[in-house]
Amino acid sequence: MRHRIKKIKFRQGRDANRMLVRKLVKNFITNSKIVTTIKKAKVLKSVIEKLIEKAKVESEANKNILLKTIADKKLVFRMFKEIGVTLKDKVGGYVRIVRLGRRDSDRSEMARLEWVYPVVTSKEKLGIKKEAETKQPASKK
């Protein structure tokens, strides 16, 4: 019997659901936040929490688990070098779900998934450098 085991399922089928979760994970890691439906956000939160626990310790087994789920070497490298290092001393609760209300078109309930602790990624570091370069006035020759 499966008492007290709750699993959120989608309608598309097993392979389509895996690809949906993979796409959501990739988008969340690259953008540091994502707006989606409540149902997808709850599934994504549990997957992200498990992946971050693996990203804390850089080993071959953890790398293979991350590659199996994410299937992108650059994102796995980012998980180990930036996210895992940042959240190494934290114990759970890395991601929060913020409810945003209902979508106008089909009235489905929306949510934003974001980091609880500030995680600075290389994309954000590069963005800060480019802003600083554009703000400096050009010198006259």
Residues 67-82: tens digit of each pLDDT? 999 999 999 999 999 9
Instruction: Determine the Cα–Cα distance for residues 140 and 102; give it in Å rounded to an integer.
Output: 53
Cβ distance 37 to 111 under 8 Å?
yes
- Is 70 exceeded by the pLDDT of residue 141? no
Q: What's the angle, vertex CA 50, arms to CA 48 and CA 51, rounded to 5? A: 65
7 located within any domain: no
**Is 2 inside any structural domain?**
no
Q: What angle do CA 22, 14, 6 make, to 5 degrees?
A: 90
In a domain? residue 35 = yes
State which residues form the domain around 111: 14-134
pLDDT at 95: 96
Q: What is the pLDDT of residues 88-112, one digit of tens each?
A: 999 989 999 999 999 999 999 999 9
User: Strands, DSSP E only, in the chain?
Assistant: 33-37, 95-102, 109-115
Q: Tokens standing for 41?
A: 């956000």
The torsion angles phi and psi of 114, rounded to 5 degrees, stand at -145, 165
CATH of the domain at 126: 3.90.1030.10
Q: Is 34 left (phi over 0), alpha (psi -120 to 50) or beta?
A: beta
Q: Taking 80 as the threshold, does the pLDDT of residue 133 lie above it?
A: no
Residue 139 has pLDDT above 70, yes or no: no
Number of domains within the chain: 1
136 has pLDDT over 80: no
Predicted confidence (pLDDT) per residue in 4-62, tens digit: 888 888 888 889 999 999 999 999 999 999 999 999 999 999 999 999 999 999 999 99
Q: Does some domain include residue 4?
A: no
